[in-house]
Amino acid sequence: MEKIKTPTGDTVYSKRLPNGLSCFVFPRKQFLRTYGMLSTNYGSIDLRFGVSGGDCVDVPAGIAHFLEHKLFEEEGGSVFSRYAEWGASVNAFTSYTQTSYLFSTTENWEDCLRLLIEFVNSPHLTDENVEKEKGIIIQELQMYADYPSHRIHSLLLENLYSEHPVRLDIGGTAESVQRTTVADLMRCYNTFYQPGNMALAVVGDVDPAQTLQMIEDNYPVWEQSTGPIERFDPPEPRQVKAARVEEELPVSRPRYLLGFKHEPVWQGEDLLRQQIVMSLGMRLIAGRSSASYERLYAEDLITDSFSAYFSADPRFAYSAMGSETRDPDALHHALSGIINELKTARVSSGDVERLKRQFYGAHLASYDSFEYTANRLISNYFRGIPSDSFLEVLQSVTADEVQAALAEHLDWERSTTVVIRPVNDHEQE
């Protein structure tokens, strides 16, 4: 059992079980809810893979998310009702790189945890129930298709990337969902749900040693563990697929999103450092305390929705920034000026130090969110990021480093601009 001190003065206990599962327990005194999250290091971008020298297989887009839906099915019932017996809630989500199952409860947390382990480890897939799920998933895709913020993000990734599966929607398409089979689903399950590829976090007023023991006693040993998983990403050209795309949607105003593709070269603590450095840079570009925010707002080139973020994983990395706007072209012009100035002029160390305070406070406050804390423990682990080094790394970042990172990574040759315009623009005015 290893201990990690948190900046709030608490301790996270971790252990890797003999079957390969990594466990984290974060005791929080006085809290009434207990929260459990079981995740696999497997997401929507894992579309081509092989196991220890075996054949390489391709599976339909959206399959990780499809599998997430199906694991809730049990013989003769649904997992939801069993959690409901304890008044607990259960949910799941799939990202590009991770699938997570979680419960939250104020009673019977041990039962809830045992059931979490049990249902994720006992798939019940039949031709019939897989067929039935397709209708539900397609309605989910339709729902997201009606969200302009979702649509513009999808368009950005589709056009930044030519080959990498991060360009595809996490849920896939109606077509890829339709052609998904039980055999495909089971192949993914058997590969990615082995304990060595998974992690479990429990947050709440629990005893760490007993909780770890309980997990160990209940977690199945996989007899046919297949060994190391090999994941294959298609070679991604340096250039973006398209430098500019436009689409019409039934929205009230135009939307603008600018993205930069980066080389995914960071691992472990380097990745954490890059996340902090680039996120500070994103604040300099789009934060409310930035010199240009007020001017752009007054000119109606941005709204509250103006934001910029950096997203990085060992397999892909990009930055994105944008807003609803009166005039996408004018915003593009203004934003280009801001970015070019930050890339060449000296970044103020006063600004960076003030933003570091902001990050410091936000990091401390985040410990009150169990879901956020559990997810951070697990996703950091999957990416090899040390859990206890955030504040230390933050303190050591300098203004020069932020400036150098912006100058290097915001490469116009590797950028894509997406504009969404209202359908029948003239009628809206």
Partner 1 sequence: MKFTQCELSEGVRLHLCETDKFTSLTCKIFIQQDLKEKEATGTALLPLLLRRGSRTFPSTLHIARESEELYAAEFGSDILKVGERQILELYFQMVDPKLLPQGEKLLERGLRSFWQIFTEPFGPGDRFHEPYFSQEKRTLEQDLKGLVNDKRSYALARFTALMCEDEPFGIYKYGDLESLEHLDNRFVYEHYQNLLQRHPLDVFIVGSNLDQAADLFASLIPSSGRSVTLQKPMRVQVEGERVFEESLDVNQTVLVMGYRTNCTYLDDDYYALLVGNGVLGGFPHSKLFMNVRERASLAYSVGSSIEGSKGLLTIVAGISDDSREQAVEIINEQVNAIKGGRISPEELEQTKRGLISAMTGINDNPAGIIDRNVIGMVEGELRSVDQVVEAISRVEYDDCVRAMQGIELDTTYLLRPGQKEGANYGED
30 contributes a contact to partner 1 by CB under 8 A: yes
Is position 92 an interface residue for partner 1 (rule: CB under 8 A)? no
Q: How far is the CB of 284 from partner 1 (least distance, A)?
A: 12
**Is 327 one of the binding residues for partner 1 (CB under 8 A)?**
no
Out of 65, 70, 167, 253, which residue is the one contacting partner 1 (CB under 8 A)? Answer: 253
Binding mask 296-315 for partner 1 (x = CB under 8 A): -xx-x--xx-----------
- Asked whether position 372 contacts partner 1 by CB under 8 A, the answer is no
Question: Quick check: 289 binds partner 1 (CB under 8 A)?
Answer: yes
The catalytically annotated residue of 2, 68, 128, 230 is: 68
- 174 contacts: CB under 8 Å, gap ≥ 6: 138, 141
Under rule CB under 8 A, residue 357 binds partner 1: yes
What's the N-to-C CA distance of the chain in angstroms? 64
Dig out the tokens for 289 from the structure: 């305390």
Q: Which is nearer to partner 1, 11 or 289 (CB)?
A: 289
Selected binder of partner 1 within 56, 186, 221, 423 (CB under 8 A): 423
Nearer CB in complex with partner 1: 93/222: 93
Contact criterion met (CB below 8 Å) for 22 and 387: no
Q: Is 135 in the site for partner 1 (CB under 8 A)?
A: yes
Please report whether residue 8 would count as binding partner 1 according to CB under 8 A: yes
Q: Specify the residue, 209 or 365, whose C-beta has the smaller distance to partner 1.
A: 365
Task: Quote the least distance from Cβ 86 to partner 1, whole Å.
Answer: 7
Are 70 and 62 in contact by the 8 Å Cβ rule? The answer is no
Asked if residue 370 binds partner 1 (CB under 8 A), the reply is yes
Q: Which one of 261, 273, 324, 383 is in contact with partner 1 (CB under 8 A)?
A: 324
Tell which positions 232-251 bind partner 1, by CB under 8 A: 250-251
> Is residue 68 flagged as an active site residue?
yes
Q: Does 294 bind partner 1 (CB under 8 A)?
A: yes
Instruction: Tell me whether residue 77 or residue 220 sits nearer to partner 1 (CB atom).
Output: 77
344 binds partner 1 (CB under 8 A): no
* Tokens (6 digits) for 55: 């054949």
Nearer CB in complex with partner 1: 134/241: 134
What's the min distance (Å) between Cβ of 424 and partner 1? 9
Block residue for tokens 């980066």:
262
CA 155 and chain centroid, separation: 17
- Compute how many residues bind partner 1; rule: CB under 8 A: 69
| Shortest distance in whole angstroms from residue 69 CB to partner 1 | 10
Which of the ranges 41-49, 98-106, 176-184, 340-348 carries the binding residues for partner 1, by CB under 8 A?
98-106
Smallest distance from partner 1 to CB 145, Å? 5
3-state SS, 211-249, equals HHHHHHHHCCCCCCCCCCEEECCCCCCCCCCCCEEEEEE
| Site residues, partner 1 (CB under 8 A) | 7-9, 29-33, 78, 80-81, 84-90, 104-107, 132-140, 142-143, 145-148, 250-253, 287-291, 293-294, 297-298, 300, 303-304, 324, 354-355, 357-362, 364-365, 367-368, 370, 423, 428
Q: Which residues are catalytic?
A: 68
